Chains A and B, each alone.
Chain A
Amino acid sequence: MATLQPIAGIAGRAVAVPGDDIDTDRIIPARYLRCVTFDDLADGLFRDERFDDDGRSTSHPLDEPVRAGATVLVSGRNFGCGSSREHAPQAIRRAGFEAVVAGSFGEIFFGNATTLGLVCLALDDESLEAVQSAVQADPALELSISVADASITVADKTYPGELADAARTALLSGRYDPLAELLAGEEAVAAVAASLPYVAAGSGR
């Protein structure tokens, strides 16, 4: 299994997609889930917000030429709520983003994103508003996220944030994809399986 690079921090420019409770259907509409690989998902990112019913661009922040190459997505509270579709963080990742900064995250989204090495940093309302305003005001603004400190630095000001310990440790050690470690537990897995009557008895049929 390929070894992953530890992720200590993310630096780059940002784009703000404001709003609370942005669900995974909005991040990637269900019609883009009709696929058997994740390869072409970037096109579907926020598709219905970026284009109107007739396919015309709505000049969404994601499509502003000055934002091209941004690596940090800034949004609101409860980002990624709703459907468990990993297609959502996959689309964000494949569109070039390496971190999402938001007020809080839907739990399944947070787990899916972390497994892909997409850093999800949560900020309190006040800090988030400050970061969001700064990003909106200046497309060239460089942000820097420290995974170890769970903080973000914008224009020499550092805002402390929140990043669950398990995710932080995993990102810092390059173990955010847990599969290798799960496979290594096989002996203990077999013991637990054997101890559970509904599993040991087969499927009951």
Chain B
Amino acid sequence: MAPRTLFDKVWDSHAVRVLENGQTQLFIGTHLIHEVTSPQAFGMLDDLGLGVRMPERTFATVDHIVPTDAREEPFADELADQMIKALRANCTRHGITYFDLHSGLQGIVHMVGPEQGITQPGSTIACGDSHTSTHGAFGAVAFGIGTSQVRDVLATQTLAMSKPKLRRIEVNGELGPGVYAKDVILHIIRTLGVNGGIGYAYEYAGEVFERMSMEQRMTVCNMSIEGGARCGYVNPDQTTFDYLEGRPYAPKGAEWDAAVQRWRALASESGARYDDVVVLDAAEIAPTVTWGINPGQAIAIGENVPHPDRVPAAERAGTLEALKHMKLTAGAPIQGTPIDVAFLGSCTNARLSDFREVASVLRDRRVAPGVKAIAVPGSTLVKEACEREGIDEILKRAGFEWRAAGCSMCLAMNPDKLEGDQLCASSSNRNFKGRQGSATGRTVLMSPVMVAAAAVTGVVSDARSVFGEATVSA
């Protein structure tokens, strides 16, 4: 048999049949749900008199709307309160495992799946959230879906899907000091464009991804959708298996050994065919920040904001619009741009390793006067782990507010929001206009350590010079 990719193997083993319009009916092994995109789907099931096909393969948590400070119910926001109650009732009624707010296991849905060992290599994972691509870090085929599709998965455990093309993105060489997984993915999106991945799944391969921890791989896969690719993955290896072993939903004993054997065989084989291959050099990747209103509008920290007269004609209008919204000067350095808010959080960068890195650079440093700094662990388990290690104390001493787990200011469906045209140095994934809760709010995306550097200096800064290269070398 010709050498095959992981994507083909997973797709083929989950393909149920070909539908009349040529799409594939694809079996979804794991369905993750949350409070924002599921209530309407349950409503549709009720209207149609349908039940949940595989409640035992469906897992729920609450993340987008939860306040990260006052978590007592009822929530002050009546609409949010209605949403958590609806999720709870739907899960109870259909026998779905629900990691509730005070279960000790609640968190952003893309943190909970991996933490619990629900996210496994070779599985198909769908969730009504575009950052479902995160789970691809484990060698799963994982993608975001809309609410009608949530309904489809609830009712049938399948989706009507067109098979995407596959692009292998290889990054080889060594990352420099102070260059993190976040910089790698921002660099990729900057290089290939925010729409470069439309119609593709991304396979992240090469030395850089092979050396990365699972948490770093999750950061990369998380932002696949920001490059237009609905799904992105890394081939599973010993790093993957070591992360999963012993987790609550991971196979145990003899089943574990059998699973590892199967998972090893999933990796893309040498000589497999790709629709496209892109090769990048790790040495060319610098700490990267966004300057505009989409994640592809990014530059290395030492570069200047683009000048509309010096960009390709097709990008001119977009550049002007972004500069106007961001209130930045064309052609000026991004470094030194004053910030109002520093946000450490989101499904992109709110894992234990992110907070460890930040804590290691923040010792004895203080958040600059006038900057509001908040740190929001991605899950309750991350919060507890940070607290066991004293990371919360380091962050609080530095001037960060230490919050409970949730999506928080990444999308501001909860009380954490920007006000007016505040500029936020953010470890999240989207710098869209209005994304952080204020129509005129401004977002500069960067790695957590760069957020820490911006927080202590009060301006967008190069963490390597703020903390010293030796400190930031991972």
Interface residues of B in 191-239 (CB under 8 A from A): 194-195, 198-199, 225-226, 228, 230
Given A30-B412, A183-B156, A197-B262, A164–B430 Cβ distance below 8 Å? no
Q: How far is the CA of A62 from the CA of B17 in the complex (A)?
A: 42
Q: How far is the CA of A177 from the CA of B132 in the complex (A)?
A: 23
Q: How far is the CA of A34 from the CA of B145 in the complex (A)?
A: 18
Q: Is the CB of A199 within 8 A of B29?
A: yes
Q: How far is the CA of A48 from the CA of B151 in the complex (A)?
A: 29
Given A115-B148, A164-B162, A19–B195 Cβ distance below 8 Å? no
Residues of B within 8 A of A105 (CB): 198
Residues of A within 8 A of B433 (CB): 25-26, 48
Q: Is the CB of B16 within 8 A of A85?
A: no
Tell me, yes or no, whether B350 is within 8 Å of chain A by CB.
no
Q: Is the CB of B294 within 8 A of A23?
A: yes
Q: In whole Å, how far is B262's beta carbon from the nearest beta carbon of chain A?
A: 7
Q: Is the CB of A202 within 8 A of B147?
A: no
With beta carbons under 8 angstroms apart, the residue of A125, A189, A195 that contacts B13 is A195
Interface residues of B in 103-128 (CB under 8 A from A): 117-118, 120, 122-123, 128
Given A29-B434, A34-B83, A82-B432, A185–B16 Cβ distance below 8 Å? yes
Q: Is the CB of B122 within 8 A of A198?
A: yes
Which bracket fits the contact residues of A? 35 or more
Interface residues of B in 139-169 (CB under 8 A from A): 144-149, 151-152, 155-160, 162
Tell me, yes or no, whether B321 is within 8 Å of chain A by CB.
yes
Residues of B within 8 A of A34 (CB): 65, 77, 79-80, 83, 413
Residues of B within 8 A of A193 (CB): 27, 54, 157
Residues of B in contact, count (CB < 8 Å): 92
Partner-binding segment picked from A3-11, A136-144, A167-175: A167-175
Q: Is the CB of B194 within 8 A of A179?
A: no
Partner-binding segment picked from B172-180, B245-253, B337-345, B383-391: B245-253
Tell me, yes or no, whether B435 is within 8 Å of chain A by CB.
yes
Given A185-B25, A202-B56, A83–B413 Cβ distance below 8 Å? no
Q: Is the CB of B146 within 8 A of A111?
A: yes
Closest to A52 in B: B439
Partner-binding segment picked from A35-43, A63-71, A153-161: A35-43
Q: Is the CB of B430 within 8 A of A165?
A: no
Q: Is the CB of B77 within 8 A of A108?
A: no
Q: Is the CB of A30 within 8 A of B14?
A: no
Given A48-B433, A82-B130, A166–B22 Cβ distance below 8 Å? yes
Residues of A within 8 A of B129 (CB): 83-84
Q: Is the CB of B318 within 8 A of A21?
A: yes
Given A53-B440, A111-B146, A125-B314, A166–B37 Cβ distance below 8 Å? no
Residues of A within 8 A of B80 (CB): 34
Tell me, yes or no, whether A31 is within 8 Å of chain B by CB.
yes
Tell me, yes or no, whether A77 is within 8 Å of chain B by CB.
yes
Given A30-B413, A198-B29, A204–B156 Cβ distance below 8 Å? no
Residues of B within 8 A of A165 (CB): 21-22
Q: How far is the CA of A106 from the CA of B225 in the complex (A)?
A: 9
Q: Is the CB of B146 within 8 A of A181?
A: no
Closest to B19 in A: A181
Residues of B within 8 A of A201 (CB): 251, 255
Closest to A176 in B: B21
Closest to A179 in B: B152
Tell me, yes or no, whether A205 is within 8 Å of chain B by CB.
yes
Interface residues of A (CB under 8 A from B): 1, 19-21, 23, 25-26, 29-31, 33-38, 48, 52-53, 77-78, 81-87, 89, 104-108, 111-112, 115-116, 125, 164-167, 169-170, 173, 175, 177-179, 181-183, 185-186, 188-189, 192-193, 195-199, 201-205
List 12 A–B pairs whose Cβ atoms lie within 8 Å, in order of A's numbering.
A37-B43, A82-B226, A83-B130, A86-B128, A107-B230, A112-B149, A115-B149, A166-B22, A179-B151, A185-B16, A192-B15, A196-B13
